[in-house]
Amino acid sequence: MVHAFDPGYIAEPFVTLCKQYPDSLVYPLTQFRVEWGPIFHRGRLDGSARILVIGQDPAQHETVVRRILVGEAGRRVQGLLAKLGVTRSYVFINAFLYSVYGSVRAKTRQNPELIDYRNQWIDALVSGGQIEAVIALGRAADEAWKFWKQTSFGADTNIAYAAITHPTQPESSSKRGKVKLAAATKKMLQNWNVALQSLAPEVKHPDLLTPLILYGDSWNDGDRTAIPEFDFPAGLPGWMHEQDSWAKRSGADDLSKRRNITITVPKGVLI
C-alpha cells in the first residue's frame, strides 16, 4: 500500500519561519502551553492553496501529530471546504502557535512580535496570488486577519473573506446540555451557510466542480469529512488521522495535566 504524506517545511520562507519562531518571551507560559513547542500549519505550502483557513490554537492531538486542526474541529472545517469543492488546495494556520492555557490577555494578543511573526506566515501564503478566499474560525482568527489587513500588503490585497463561528463553539458554549448543543449547532450551521453563499462564487478554481449544498439544522452524513493522509507527516499510523480522542491530558492536578498527554491506541486496532 502506498501512503501519501506531507513533506513539511522544505522550502523558503517556511524553512526560516520554522527556524525562527517566537518563544515564551512572546507567548507567556502562564497563557500558553509553550512546553510542547509550536505547531505551525496543515495543508499546502507549495503555492497551490486556494483557501486559507485561520484557526485558533492547537490542542493535544495537534501537539502529537505536529499539524493543526486534525481532530473533530478539523473534520468539520474539512467538510466546509468540500462544500466549496476544495479537497486539496487549502492551507490552515492558527492565530496562536501554542495551545492556549486559560485565557490570552489583550496585551499578549496585541504584542507586535506575535502579530509580526503571524503576518509573515500570511504574507508567505498570500503572496503567490493564488488564494481566493480566507476563512477565520472564531474571534482570535478574525482579529489575526484584521491585524494583517492593517499592514501595507494586507491593505493592498483584495481577497474574499468570511469570519465564521469556531467549529467547536457549540460544544464549548453548551457544556454538554443536549438542547443547548442542538440550538448552538443549528445557529453555527446557519452562520456557515451565510459564509458558504458569499464565498462560493469567489472560489474560481476548486479541486472539484460541485453544486453548493448548504447545511441543514444539524450535522448530516458527509458534513464532516476525513482529513486526508497527505496532510500528515510521513509514517503516521492510520488511527491517528482517522480516529479521535486517542490523546488526553492526564494528571491529578493542573501541573500534571500540563506535563502529560496520554496516548492510547484505540480499541479495534490491535484486536
Which residues of the chain form contacts with ligand URA (CB under 6 A)?
A: 55-59, 62, 68-69, 73, 94, 137
Query: Least distance from C-beta 100 to ligand URA, angstroms?
Result: 10
| DSSP3 helix / strand / coil % (the chain, rounded to 5) | 40, 10, 50
Q: What is the CA radius of gyration of the chain?
A: 18
Helix (H, G, I), strand (E, B) or coil at 175: coil
- Cβ burial 183-202 (10 Å sphere, 16+ → b, else e): ebbeebbebbbebbeebbee
Closest residue by beta carbon to ligand URA: 55
Q: Which is nearer to ligand URA, 91 or 206 (CB)?
A: 91
Helix (H, G, I), strand (E, B) or coil at 174: helix
Q: Which is nearer to ligand URA, 52 or 206 (CB)?
A: 52
Query: Least distance from C-beta 164 to ligand URA, angstroms?
Result: 12
Query: Least distance from C-beta 270 to ligand URA, angstroms?
Result: 27
Q: Which is nearer to ligand URA, 85 or 138 (CB)?
A: 138
Contact status, residue 160 vs residue 198, Cβ threshold 8 Å: yes
Place of cell 500588503: 153
Query: Least distance from C-beta 231 to ligand URA, angstroms?
Result: 12
Q: Which is nearer to ligand URA, 69 or 162 (CB)?
A: 69
- Which amino acid is present at 115? I
Report the first-to-last Cα separation within the chain, whole angstroms.
Answer: 21
Query: Least distance from C-beta 70 to ligand URA, angstroms?
Result: 7
Q: Which is nearer to ligand URA, 125 or 206 (CB)?
A: 125
Question: How buried is 174 (Cβ within 10 angstroms: 0-12 exposed, 13-18 middle, 19+ buried)?
Answer: middle
C-alpha grid cell for residue 6? 506531507
Q: Which is nearer to ligand URA, 71 or 206 (CB)?
A: 71
- Which amino acid is present at 222? G
Query: Least distance from C-beta 28 to ligand URA, angstroms?
Result: 19
